[in-house]
Chain A
């Protein structure tokens, strides 16, 4: 498999498994956070806008 002899080797990354996997884990976390924050933001906008539209249509 590529540069590594076995999957266990791949996980171990020589002596540097901890550092490599920690970096990639945090990288994944930041990417996911960016995606989710967009999603949450959009959903929050639509919820609020919907509520406001309802309120306004009632008051008219």
Chain B
């Protein structure tokens, strides 16, 4: 199977091109991420109305939901990037996949911790075997597995490929795990009180949430690009352009 891509696709595959273009993109993403997160936080903490049932504890939603969404889509991105790297042997795709893993893991941890903290006033316990929390925990372990496997290989290219295979296996399994955990949860707990499913949120509640979600995506983009840039330097350290960068540092 030979697909012809436009030229920019191949240029994108060049580490140096990636390094140059991201240095132009990074400031913009940083500014947008910072503004959105600050606006979203202030709006969510100060101006959004309290929930009629949960009171002010619902304000945790503005961290919990964006990080939970991010943790999931980060895994998807990691698997897609890994697949691109495996199929078309594009170096930069593997670099991106590798940079995704620690960010996704930290987002999963944040989603878990905020979920647990939110659970205390809502359910009266720090940990509840809620379907979403449980599958987030599993997702965290999937991330840990990918990170551990990548670092266990001494040969970088093999570690990349192995991690990509594992990420793809994980991506096939995630929906199955999710549905089985949800099913198991309904079997054992009956109708539990779901935290994020509200009949209709007033705009003052969901607009800051939307702002926070977009803000966290931009933040993710910033960290991902920065991590990938360092990884590019590390892998290209024999090339002249990296050497001249190092000399000027």
Contact = CB atoms under 8 A, between A and B. Distances in A.
B32 interface: no
B110 interface: yes
Contact of A4 (B46, B121, B246): B46
A3 B242 contact: no
A3 B48 contact: yes
A59 interface: no
A3 B47 contact: yes
B114 A23 contact: yes
B59 to A, nearest CB: 5
Contacts of A10: 45-46
B63 interface: yes
Tell me the interface secondary structure of chain A in the complex: helix
Tell me the interface secondary structure of chain B in the complex: helix
A34 B59 CA distance: 23
Contacts of B103: 34
Interface string A37-54: 110011001100110110
A22 B246 contact: no
A53 B246 contact: yes
A34 B103 CA distance: 7
A60 interface: no
A2 B206 CA distance: 16
B41 A24 contact: yes
Given A38-B227, A45-B233, A45-B234, A24 B49 contact: no
B63 A27 contact: yes
Contacts of B50: 3, 14
B249 A31 contact: no
A1 B46 contact: yes
A20 B57 contact: yes
B60 A23 contact: yes
A19 B121 contact: yes
B45 A35 contact: no
Given A2-B46, A50-B246, A23 B55 contact: no
A20 B59 contact: yes
A2 B47 contact: yes
Interface of B: 37, 41, 45-50, 55-57, 59-60, 63-64, 67, 102-103, 106-107, 109-110, 113-114, 117-118, 120-121, 219, 223, 226-227, 229-230, 233-234, 237, 242-243, 246-247, 249
Q: Shortest 10 CB-CB distances between A and B: which pairs?
A: A2-B46, A16-B57, A13-B56, A2-B47, A27-B63, A38-B226, A49-B246, A14-B56, A14-B55, A23-B60
Given A26-B113, A45-B230, 20 more contacts: A1-B46, A3-B46, A3-B49, A10-B46, A14-B50, A14-B56, A15-B121, A16-B121, A19-B57, A19-B118, A20-B56, A20-B57, A23-B113, A24-B41, A26-B110, A30-B107, A34-B106, A38-B223, A42-B229, A53-B247
13 contacts: A14-B55, A16-B121, A17-B56, A19-B57, A20-B57, A27-B67, A30-B109, A34-B106, A35-B223, A45-B233, A49-B242, A50-B246, A53-B243
